[in-house]
Chain A
């Protein structure tokens, strides 16, 4: 049997897990009702269970005490009995499909924010400030320690009474337990710090109190780091010692192991490795822990593919694989393996849209799967075939919005033609994938290519559709997803001209697509601060150019998410790219063979100049509206989307009205520049009722 190792059940404590695949704890940001597991929350996990996931550890960083604020990340609140009935719903929904569900419980200590909600005073062993959240804290007192130990026990009781299958104590990502462990943060000289035993004491008291409260017939696990990667932090050998120490109590039913510490931007990026990382970069750390403990070990970090998972399990490095983002991207991951539809798995590309939203306190969403966590609204993962009339659907533009529209329409059973002017699908994804370390983003396109081929969509690549071609097809529905063009004409002084020979500036697209040769001495002006600017900088530097990237914003790449800008910065600093903030591009002019860029300080108005041989401007996208206006007049709905229906995930009313001519909708950047998720979400919610 294929994937045999994956489908071997395993016992954790008193629970049998049906396979070796775990969705590990992640802060979902869905427990919006004061930390209760809402309908959205339940449906999100039910979908994973229905999709075959063996074990879900939900509620990343769910709090046990009220001075570990839950509201910043809408995490689950286990500090009150009010949670118990909510847990019952959650447990039933997952158990109904044969899955198991546990919850991560924690006190985050200093790793939070104090400036809101209860205005809590954060606590930490030695009152040392945490850099990632810029959070200051007090030094914890003995009375508080015992209160929190008791809170852990009560939280575990609530999980058990709510019918969950276990709890995972977070001693990772620099939460309170591992704040006590780490000499980097614990400078105490009393019995809670200093010696190994003393640093272990808090965690041990928590473990003992929890076990005493829940008894033997409830799973209690621990998530730990495998190495903090800080010279003054916990090393792999320290962690082996710690794991063995707790394992020896016989009170721990499993260990989860994560590579890297987490209290700087740079280490945090390791924790949820983005697409720049190799597969399973920290497996060896988990394997090291497995050597010293007697209970199952779970490891997650860039395990995305069933074959990879099978290989890891077969190798015996760990007992269970966490495939967390893999399940955010496709909750039917296991079911598809079992259906022999491995090719249909939507594989996580490591874009980290999910986690980068989470760090901003926004609900976790997948860049490429707009149904994830919207199950409760009726946004489907599996598109039902329509029982209504078969329609002729013409989609123009093969970027993410167009590809999703074509896919969903074809799944509905319609006759779909997709036009794409370029020779390949992907739109801006194709450009994004050209940057160093960003090639994996093309996985989004690859999945669509397979799906569209499977669904028999008529793909007209290298074909620019005009009004006549479209009308000739006698479509019932026309969807425009034609994107736009780099917006270089906004400031006339930049000297942009249509003709490349005359234009003083080029776009990041010109650079990434290879349409323009990289210069030797390049200034990139990036007022957007998202991926395109830093990608172009990385690309040019990679080709040997001297690069300065300038922005009028706080810092280049400032709008790139928290787990992704560090990997850009690593690469940019290593290639000696100069990053300059607070300067706007005022004007570009030619002087002999060179270009002079005049930069103006945002705050003083002072001007300075750079003499370079290439000026690249990143100023976002200007929608391409010409085709839309050519088609709008003849369309039945005058190109309008009923936004009430759209937001309510209801069919567009015009679909059920009859009349001459076609319906016209536009999606994605050809309306207004937004992002990949926005384009895909609009396409899905619009087309799912065609």
Chain B
């Protein structure tokens, strides 16, 4: 009897899956076009899956083994079962192989089940709770129906009752695993995920065969030339088709949620929910069936959307509230953590672009900052002619005079901030001590465009970028060095699309090079315990985790790492214009970060970003001291005795704190 039932079962499941797949593809195709090489993508897919995706999954060893067993077992079992049971190929070898595959899958499923017994809050419940059972049903069912084929049991073992029961079990498994895969069940992730990997909008983010690490973190430029084109994403269908596909790949594992600083701070953002809302939106409906953590402070079930309806309502509610989008710090913790390689930040900025460019609706100080950027080329609205006021006593060489320098020192808008001026002065004194041939743009420098871009004002970004590119184009320099990771990222990764290609160094990298080449001599560190905070735009955006640490090491500092450091570093709360849009939560992100610092017992936290410095220093005392890497190096400089006439009081008292600031070697 099984011989007749099983093929029917398998082929109807496959047929239904195929219908589902067509319907699903249609949903994706509502999106805007996005040219990707389809065949090359498909060819690259297995590698992307096995190497890149597993690189992320393998951060959780247990889960990764579970997934290998379950998914590997399933893929093999499904193929073999179609051959063995669908086409009825009577091969003992294949049957044995099928037994092995189902066993493997079964074991994996048990682990999946175990994890679901007491799931962490980041995991979605709902249909996901039945998935382990379905996996067990499939693997066990197929195992049992294969026993006769393998010759372990006689063909007619058991009664028809048993056969019916087994058929039921297999049907359940097939229903979840074949039918559910394309009809919106949890297994959708495998189908959409595989295609998402193949047709990913950022193929550069995957590693290559030569072992080169893949990275693609710069936002994609909006084409502003077409006056009729809608700017940014208003409706789900305004995303590109492969973005929609990407959303569909979400496994609701909540790893993003667990890492998101805004979520932890109780701001109304949860990256997982956001992705799920996009999934709801592309098919149409409400979020009522969402079974994970909501946006903090926003109950589930009150929002709904449709593919061609607005995501953010001008009034009332639609799919997502604007404040959700404005809570994001663009820290990329979610993207870094997502095993499905989903690009949350792209999506958020796409939606912000629409709000800012089409609605002119940037909350709180947003509009003012953007106006300032347009009028004064800096977010604070300072007189653009006052950019160099901080350095009136430093006699910095200007590019306009020199025209040619080894290093173009990009100062950033920190020139207007007294705290960051200290970092800049420290950096200048270090560059001078190392006798680096450098020059600055001075009043010709403009805001890099970072904030404008993250706030969705692509037009202002592009204007600023193009003007900076034109200015830079007038001069000859080997590389740009900056102490601002935001400028660093934009100059390095986002100006290229607009025609500006440079070798750009974050100062920590550059200082590390100077140290390695013996250009600086340093006094040994005498202070207390130190920890290091990875700036998002240096670490996750640009993969630079090592240089700052090795500079600290050269200073004789042994870094006491925070629980969340490196690629898992917790954002300071300062990126993405978040301090400007200032969406309230239950606590402040920098406070949480300083708690991370406190847990290490460090007296000092070394940073490498003006924004991080400002955010962390805004935390009320008692707290660790905050110093930029450049300041630490400047404090430790051993300056050539011949260069310094007369002993100055700063050396006598050993207190370099104020010295580094005011010193003009």
Report the nearest B residue to A382, measured CB to CB.
B655
A1 is contacted by which of B393, B418, B526, B661 (Cβ under 8 Å)? B418
CB pair A51–B658 under 8 Å, yes or no, is yes
Given contacts A378-B652, A384-B653, contact A340 B419 (CB under 8 A): yes
A59 within 8 A of B: no
In the assembly, what is the distance between CA of A51 and CA of B646, in Å? 18
Q: Which residues of B contact A46 (CB under 8 A)?
A: 648-649
Chain B residues positioned under 8 Å from A18 (CB to CB): 392-393
**Segment at the interface with A among B130-138, B304-312, B382-390:** B382-390
Provide the residues of chain B in CB contact with A3, threshold 8 Å.
418
Q: Verify if B663 is at the interface (C-beta below 8 Å from A).
A: yes
- How distant is the Cα of A17 from the Cα of B392 in the complex, in angstroms? 7
Report B-chain residues with C-beta under 8 Å of the C-beta of A378.
652
Is the CB of B659 closer than 8 A to any CB of chain A?
yes
Which residues of chain B are within 8 angstroms of A43 by Cβ–Cβ distance? 649
In the complex, the answer to whether A1 meets B655 with C-beta atoms within 8 Å is no
B421 proximal to A (CB < 8 A): yes
B421 to chain A: which residues have CB within 8 Å? 338
Whether the pair B663, A382 counts as a contact (CB closer than 8 A) is no
What's the nearest-Cβ distance from chain B to residue A45, in Å? Answer: 11
Question: Do A97 and B380 contact each other (CB < 8 Å), given the known contacts A46-B648, A340-B419, A382-B657?
Answer: no
CB-defined interface of B640-665 with A at 8 Å, one 1/0 digit per residue?
00001110111011110111011111
Question: Which range contains the number of B residues in contact with the other chain?
Answer: 20 to 34
State which residues 290-333 of B face A: CB under 8 Å. Answer: none
Chain B contacts for A49, CB-based, 8 A: 662
> Nearest chain-B residue to A53 (Cβ)?
B662
How far does the Cβ of A338 sit from chain B's closest Cβ, in whole Å?
5
> B367-398 toward A: CB 8 Å interface, digit per residue (1/0)?
00000000000001010001001101110000
> Which of A88-96, A286-294, A388-396, A563-571 contacts the other chain?
A88-96
> When the two chains form their complex, are residues A92 and B392 in contact, meaning their CB atoms are under 8 A apart?
no
Q: Is the CB of A16 within 8 A of B392?
A: yes
Identify whether the interface residues of A are mostly helix, strand, loop, or mixed.
Answer: loop
- Is the Cβ of A89 less than 8 Å from the Cβ of B662? no
Question: Which residues of A in the span 338-363 have a Cβ within 8 Å of any Cβ on B?
Answer: 338-340
Q: Are the CB atoms of A93 and B389 closer together than 8 Å?
A: no
Complexed CA–CA distance, A339 and B420 (Å): 10
Q: Flag if B646 contacts A92 (CB, 8 Å).
A: yes
Q: Is residue A9 contacting chain B, with contact meaning CB distance below 8 A?
A: yes
Chain A, range 1-33, C-beta contacts under 8 Å to B: 1-4, 7-9, 16-19
Q: Would you call B389 and A7 a contact (CB within 8 A)?
A: yes
- Asked whether A384 and B418 contact (CB < 8 A) given A96-B663, A375-B649, the answer is no
Chain A residues within 8 Å of B183, by CB: none
A323 smallest CB distance to B (angstroms):
17
The interface residues of chain A lying within 8 Å CB-to-CB of B418 are: 1-3, 7, 337-340
Tell me the complex Cα distance, A46–B644, Å.
14
Which residues of A (483-499) have their CB < 8 Å from a CB of B? none
| Residues B648 and A96 in contact, CB atoms below 8 Å apart | yes
Q: How far is the CB of A2 from chain B (nearest CB, A)?
A: 7
Chain B CB within 8 A of A296 CB = no
Contact of B658 among A92, A332, A375 (CB under 8 A): A332
Q: Answer whether residue A319 sits at the interface, using C-beta atoms and an 8 A cutoff.
A: no
A89 touches B393 (CB 8 A): no
Closest to A43 in B: B649
B416:A1 contact, CB within 8 angstroms:
yes
Q: What are 30 residue pairs bridging A and B, where the CB atoms are less than 8 Å apart in the complex? A: A1-B380, A1-B382, A1-B416, A1-B417, A4-B382, A8-B386, A16-B392, A42-B646, A43-B649, A46-B648, A50-B650, A50-B662, A52-B662, A96-B644, A96-B645, A96-B663, A97-B393, A97-B662, A97-B664, A99-B393, A332-B658, A338-B422, A339-B658, A339-B661, A340-B419, A340-B617, A380-B653, A382-B653, A382-B655, A384-B655
Chain A residue with the shortest CB-CB distance to B394: A98
Task: A1-B416, A97-B664, A335-B661 are known; give 17 further A-B pairs, CB within 8 A.
Answer: A1-B380, A1-B418, A4-B382, A7-B390, A46-B649, A50-B650, A95-B664, A96-B644, A96-B664, A97-B393, A97-B648, A98-B664, A335-B658, A338-B421, A338-B422, A380-B653, A382-B658
Residue of B nearest to A387 (CB): B526
Shortest C-beta distance, A53 to chain B (Å), equals 10
The reply to whether the CB of A47 lies closer than 8 angstroms to some CB of chain B is yes
Contacts of A4 in B (CB 8 A): 382, 386
* Across-interface contacts of A50 in B (CB, < 8 A): 648-650, 658-659, 662-663
In whole Å, how far is B396's beta carbon from the nearest beta carbon of chain A?
12
Query: CA of A89 to CA of B647 in the docked complex: distance in angstroms?
Result: 11
B interface residues, Cβ below 8 angstroms from A: 380, 382, 386, 389-390, 392-394, 416-419, 421-422, 526, 617, 644-646, 648-650, 652-655, 657-659, 661-665
Which A residues lie within 8 Å of B665 (CB)? 96
Task: Give the complex CA separation of A8 and B382 in angstroms.
Answer: 12
Q: How far is the CA of A4 from the CA of B390 in the complex (A)?
A: 10
| B646: min CB distance to chain A, Å | 6
CB nearest neighbor in B for A7: B389
In the bound assembly, the distance between CA atoms of A97 and B392 in angstroms comes to 12
Residues of B near A337 (CB, < 8 A) are: 418
Pick the contact of B389: A2, A9, A89, A387 (CB < 8 A).
A9
B-side contacts of A7, CB under 8 Å:
389-390, 418
- The distance from the CB of B642 to the nearest CB of chain A, in whole angstroms, is 14
Q: Which 6 A-B pairs have the closest CB atoms?
A: A98-B393, A9-B392, A18-B392, A18-B393, A98-B664, A382-B655
B649: nearest residue on chain A (CB-CB)? Answer: A375
- Closest chain-B Cβ to A70's Cβ sits at a distance in Å of 25
Contacts of B661 in A (CB 8 A): 52, 335, 338-339
Bound Cα distance from A511 to B648, whole angstroms: 49
Q: Which residues of B contact A98 (CB under 8 A)?
A: 392-394, 662-664
CB-based nearest A residue for B659: A50
Question: For residue B650, which residue of chain A has the nearest CB?
Answer: A50
Interface residue from A17, A92, A384 paired with B645 (Cβ < 8 Å) = A92
Given A338-B661, A378-B652, A384-B655, the answer on whether A93 and B392 have CB atoms closer than 8 Å is: no
Min C-beta distance of A388 to chain B, whole Å: 13
With A and B bound together, what is the CA distance between A450 and B608 in angstroms? 31
Minimum distance in angstroms from B393 CB to a CB of chain A: 3
CB distance from A191 to the nearest CB of B (A): 45
> Chain B nearest CB: distance from A410 CB in Å?
14
Minimum CB distance partner of A89 in chain B = B646
Which of B380, B389, B419, B662 is A8 in contact with, Cβ under 8 Å?
A: B389
User: Which residues on the A side are within 8 Å of B663 (C-beta)?
Assistant: 50, 96-98
Q: Which residues of A contact B649 (CB under 8 A)?
A: 43, 46-47, 50, 375, 380-381
What is the CA–CA distance of A444 and B653 in the complex, to the nearest angstrom? 24
CA distance A19 to B653 in the complex (A): 26
* A335 with B390: CB separation less than 8 A: no
Complex CA gap A378/B650 in Å reads 11
Please determine whether B662 and A335 come into contact, CB atoms closer than 8 angstroms.
yes
Residues of B within 8 A of A47 (CB): 649
Residue of A nearest to B657 (CB): A382
Interfacial residues of chain A within 288-341, with CB under 8 A of chain B in the complex? 332, 335, 337-340
Q: How far is the CB of B376 from chain A (nearest CB, A)?
A: 13
What's the minimum C-beta distance from B228 to chain A, rounded to whole angstroms? 42
Complex: A93 Cα to B648 Cα, angstroms: 8
**A125 CA to B664 CA, complexed, in Å:** 47
Q: A residues within 8 A CB of B659?
A: 50
Q: In whole Å, how far is B323's beta carbon from the nearest beta carbon of chain A?
A: 29
Q: In the docked arrangement, what's the CA distance between A351 and B663, Å?
A: 32
Q: How far is the CB of A451 from the nearest CB of chain B, in Å?
A: 14
Interface contact B662-A51, CB-CB below 8 Å: yes
What CA separation (Å) do A384 and B652 show in the bound complex? 10
Knowing A378-B652, A384-B653, the reply to whether A93 touches B646 (Cβ < 8 A) is: yes
Residues in chain A near residue B392, CB distance under 8 A: 9, 16-19, 98
- Smallest CB separation, B423 vs chain A (Å): 12
By a CB distance below 8 angstroms, the chain A residues around B386 are 4, 8
B604 CB to closest chain A CB (Å) equals 13
For the complex, what is the distance from the CA of A52 to the CA of B654, rounded to whole Å? 18
Q: What is the CA–CA distance of A50 and B664 in the complex, to the nearest angstrom?
A: 10
A469 to B645, CA, bound (A): 52
